[in-house]
Amino acid sequence: MASEQVRLASKALGPLVRRHGTSPALKVTLRQAVKTLARALVETDTKTQAETIRQTIDELRFGLHLIQNSQRPADHAQLQGTTEALSFLAPLEGAMAPEPVRILAPAPPPPASELPKPQAHPFLSPPAQTPVLRPVPAKAEDKTRPSEPQSLDFPTVRLRLIGLTRKFKSLRVALTEPLTTLRDLDVACAELDKIVQAVKWLGVKCVPAFLKASENAETVADRLIASAALIHLGSLGGVEKMMSMLEGVVAEEQPLPPIAATILRTFTDATVLDGMLKLLLKPGGDALGSLLLPLLAEQGVLSSEQLLKLTNHPRDALAVPAAEALAWSGDAYNAPLLLASARKATTPGRANALLFAAVALGSAEALVEVRAQLPERAASSHHLAEALAIAGDDSDAPRLIALAEKPGIDADHLLLAVANLGCVATVQALPALVSHVRRETLERARRMILGSGSTHPSDEASAIRRLHGEPWSVSGLLSRLAAPDEPLQSQRRLALEIRVRTGLVPPTKSSLLMSAAARAELVANWTAYFAKTNAKLKPGDWYYQGHPAS
């Protein structure tokens, strides 16, 4: 009889898992219920079958909870089938309930004279005397924290992993989309933090369930996310599991999922960073250089001496990100060495990255070479365009705009780099780029130069450098570092440019995932530090290393 009811419940659920528009949480719950019922049908042990059916009933009740709290019509369309399946199984719940366990009073302990004496062991301390167990009065129920189901594997752990996946994907979009603002980034980080806190709330008792989810995951991305959950839960083996997983992917020559960098970037704990560094330094770890090196450099784990050495690595996957990192943390005396390495580089990508770093660290000779090489290396001009965006003058705007119509060029990124120069003549060239650049990018570039107003400056005012409608200044640049409407990529460019334009190294480091509060504190610190330089540099001019740009 029980098998027939299980079969009917399974038949009622079958069509539901294929319905389009169902929310991911409900879809996972229903699919798991179908799988659990399939196990119950073939289970020969009565006790195990009963436990499996009870588990399915819990899953279906959770599904009803999801339906009641959902606003999706497709979810509510699942109500009838879910209720029907539950109606077949619910009568079995009482019939299969285990006999209540009788609690007997503990027998009194035997006299101490009759207890066996423990044997001495040369390596262990003597065991402590066994205490007498006494009944503990029941505590009042804690009303501050809602109770969780006893089995957190189905479906709570899966729901947490689904939530983590969605929030990591949202954060990755925020980090890669050119027009993402700091406000958008803060929202994405806050949403991710909510689900991370929900994972931590489950506690260490859920570590086995997350381990199981990691082992059963079908994709590398899912295994990484499950490992990230283990780290947040404080599992001692979480970091090792994640690093060994990355190492295994490289050893099998599998492609790393794009979300991997986003997942790793969210960790600033010393244990995780140490694990990443060890993996990078292992034989064969250079294959992960483009993933791990930028994250380690941003957190200050790699010194400028180590980065300079890595710029000569045989693989571009390490040499290029090392050069990019040196642009932020290198010393001025590194610039001639980087220029010399750029001239000996055998690939355009490596040469361009080294020139970019040399320009950022103050090599005027490297800036001249960037301008000379730009037309010949149009297909790999990303680093050269960035070098001119942070160190060039008004004569460089036409050079960069001329690249926008060439095939293979990321015209949206290029235009935002041009707009950073603050040349009013760039606004006049925008209509010609309508077929190459998104409308949102055109509007953003215009605002970066002229501000939110639509008034075009006079011919005399057009000759000066503009920043959001005002003459460019150090104080104006600093204010954009914490402006909520500033695009993230633009903010990062400005954070590097302040050193290039003034010739002064900022007192503290800026990181990509800074909170709004930390960002405001950094701007206040930098504003005080650059106060004298702000008074020294005339607003509206182009500067390089504290001197007028030529």
Rg of the chain on CA atoms, in Å? 31
pLDDT of residue 35 exceeding 60, the answer is yes
CB 139 within 8 A of CB 133: no
CA quadruple 97, 99, 103, 107: dihedral, nearest 10? -140
Q: What's the residue count for the chain?
A: 550
pLDDT of residue 12 exceeding 70, the answer is yes
For residue 425 the two structure tokens come to 């003549």
pLDDT for the residue numbered 459: 62
pLDDT for the residue numbered 472: 96
Mean pLDDT for the chain? Answer: 83
Write b or e for each residue in 342-356: b if 16 or more Cβ atoms lie within 10 A of its Cβ, otherwise e.
beebeebbbbbbbbb
181 versus 154: the higher-pLDDT residue is 181
Tens digits of residue pLDDT in 249-303: 888 888 889 999 999 999 999 999 999 999 988 887 778 888 999 999 999 999 9
Could you tell me how many helices (H) and strands (E) the chain has, helices first? 28, 4
The H-or-E segment that residue 433 falls in is: none
Calpha distance 142→131 (Å, rounded): 28
345 versus 67: the higher-pLDDT residue is 345
Of the candidates 529, 531, 520, 528, the residue with the CA atom closest to the CA atom of residue 486: 520
Single pTM value for the model: 0.71
CB 321 within 8 A of CB 297: yes
Chain-centroid distance, C-alpha 355: 29
In this structure, the number of other CB atoms found within 10 A of the CB of residue 362 comes to 22
In this structure, the number of other CB atoms found within 10 A of the CB of residue 19 comes to 15
Calpha distance 484→186 (Å, rounded): 9
Looking at the chain, the whole-number percentage of residues with pLDDT higher than 90 is: 51
Calpha distance 52→33 (Å, rounded): 10
Judging by beta carbons within 10 Å of its beta carbon (0-12, 13-18, 19+), is residue 516 exposed, middle or buried?
A: middle
For residue 52 the two structure tokens come to 């499996």
In this structure, the number of other CB atoms found within 10 A of the CB of residue 174 comes to 22
Whether omega before 407 lies within 30 degrees of 0, making that bond cis, reads: no
Calpha distance 248→256 (Å, rounded): 11
Calpha distance 280→318 (Å, rounded): 10
pLDDT of residue 207 exceeding 90, the answer is no
Looking at the chain, the whole-number percentage of residues with pLDDT higher than 70 is: 86
Phi, psi (deg, nearest 5) at residue 486: -80, 130
pLDDT for the residue numbered 105: 39
For residue 114 the two structure tokens come to 């009759």
Calpha distance 234→269 (Å, rounded): 11
Average pLDDT over residues 146-160: 57
pLDDT for the residue numbered 326: 96
Of the candidates 359, 365, 414, 430, the residue with the CA atom closest to the CA atom of residue 390: 359
Residue 544's DSSP bridge partners are 547
CB 73 within 8 A of CB 20: no
Average pLDDT over residues 316-338: 95
pLDDT for the residue numbered 149: 38
Tens digits of residue pLDDT in 385-435: 999 999 999 999 999 998 887 877 888 999 999 999 999 999 988 988 888
Asked which of 7-11, 51-55, 149-153, 300-304 is least confident by mean pLDDT, the reply is 149-153
Calpha distance 519→497 (Å, rounded): 17
pLDDT of residue 27 exceeding 90, the answer is no
pLDDT for the residue numbered 98: 42
Helix (H, G, I), strand (E, B) or coil at 547: strand
Asked which of 229-243, 343-357, 472-486 is least confident by mean pLDDT, the reply is 229-243
Tens digits of residue pLDDT in 348-369: 999 999 999 999 999 999 999 9
CB 197 within 8 A of CB 167: no
Calpha distance 326→337 (Å, rounded): 12
pLDDT for the residue numbered 252: 83
- Going by pLDDT thresholds of 50, 70 and 90, the confidence category of residue 154 is very low
CB 205 within 8 A of CB 241: no
Place of tokens 């027998």: 107
**In one letter, which amino acid is 420?**
N
In 389-498, beta strands by DSSP E: 466-467, 470-471
Calpha distance 186→174 (Å, rounded): 9
Tens digits of residue pLDDT in 97-110: 443 333 333 444 44
Tens digits of residue pLDDT in 301-315: 999 999 999 999 999
Angle at 541 between CA 422 and CA 543, to 5 degrees: 95
CB 370 within 8 A of CB 384: yes
- Going by pLDDT thresholds of 50, 70 and 90, the confidence category of residue 17 is low
pLDDT of residue 131 exceeding 50, the answer is no
For the chain, the straight-line distance linking the first and the last C-alpha, in angstroms and rounded, comes to 90
pLDDT of residue 467 exceeding 70, the answer is yes
Place of tokens 């285990």: 98
Whether omega before 111 lies within 30 degrees of 0, making that bond cis, reads: no
